[in-house]
Amino acid sequence: MVAESLAEWWHESARDLPWRFGRATPWGVLVSEVMSQQTQMSRVVPYWQAWMERWPDAAALADASKADVITAWGRLGYPRRALRLQECARMVADDYHDDLPRTYDELVALPGIGDYTASAVMSFAYGERIAVIDTNIRRVLSRVFLGAESRGGAASPAERALANRVLPEDSAARCRGFDRPSVVWNQSVMELGAVICTAKSPLCEQCPVAAECMFLANGRPGLGERRTRPHQRFRGTDRQVRGLVLNALRGLPDGRIAIDRKDIEALWSDHIQLDKCIASLDDDGLIEMLPDGSVRLPC
């Protein structure tokens, strides 16, 4: 009953994201998954569309300059992901003739690709029956089938066993990949966790599986006590300072490629923290430090 109810809800209510419903290449699906890590889907859409128009395949991204890649990443956050995605593109272009590999083991061997992303590509791009496990899916499965909150952190063996146990069989093998029961299940459970079965304020009155949910039946025990992802302070953190430096470099007028030391120091009053963040950006390959103290995006 849960799978049927979720599938009906998915077909009626799923957000019309441009990489869904078979409209994106496998490479485009992978890009969407990398961009969506720790980032709201609504923020990802315009970046993904601009990115795929500029670099529609791995080979195109592989040939781009690092400065262009970092600039195009914009405010998606965690910009090291952009360079790892380019490293991945180079391996796909060189070792796989620009065709994204089709096996889980080959996918997780690519730079920056872990279990979740590889599983998502196998399911969403190739229509393979494989359990996709992220924070939203773990929360929904734990609530619906166990009546308890997910504890967060890395997925436990018990959570992985549950995800595999409830994954529907794909008996209708001739249907389109994105319509196969296991794919619809992965997509719909993830979507439910993103828009309905949220961590702190689940909209149980709108949930298509409320009648089957053990968590709701038990009175939603412990709601809000264990957050599936800890709140991360941003203001005043190194992340904020690193972002200020990168945004300043992205916003340089045409013809100017570097920011001098005086302008850098104007970005943040704590120059000890600022210098630490500049050094970490340099270590990550996101900027280059020049002999005169100025910085620029890598060539």
The DSSP annotation for 117-154 comes to: HHHHIIIIIT--------HHHHHHHIIIIISS----SS
Active site residue 288: no
Maximum CA extent, the chain: 67
Question: Which parts of the chain register pLDDT below 70?
Answer: 172-175, 224-232
Task: Report the distance separating Cα 32 and Cα 221, nearest Å.
Answer: 34
Both tokens assigned to 279? 């050094």
What pLDDT is attached to residue 174? 60
How far apart are the C-alpha atoms of 281 and 259, rounded to whole Å? 14
User: pLDDT digit string (tens) for 168-205?
Assistant: 999 755 667 788 999 999 999 999 999 999 999 999 99
Same domain? For 77 and 115 the reply is yes
User: What are the φ/ψ torsions at residue 145 (nearest 5 degrees)?
Assistant: -100, -25
Our CA dihedral for 62, 67, 70, 74, rounded to 10 degrees, sits at -130
Half-sphere exposure of 198 (CA within 13 A, CB side): 10
Q: What is the pLDDT of residue 228?
A: 45
E runs forming strands in the chain = 258-259, 288-289, 295-296
126, 160, 183: which is the final residue of a domain? Answer: 126
Catalytic, out of 4, 8, 33, 288: 33
What pLDDT score does 1 carry? 86
Residue 122 covered by a domain: yes
The residue segments making up the domain with residue 91 are: 15-126
> How many domains would you assign to the chain?
3
pTM of the model: 0.85
Mean pLDDT of the chain: 92
Of the three residues 184, 218, 252, the one that is the final residue of a domain is: 218
CATH code at 117? 1.10.340.30
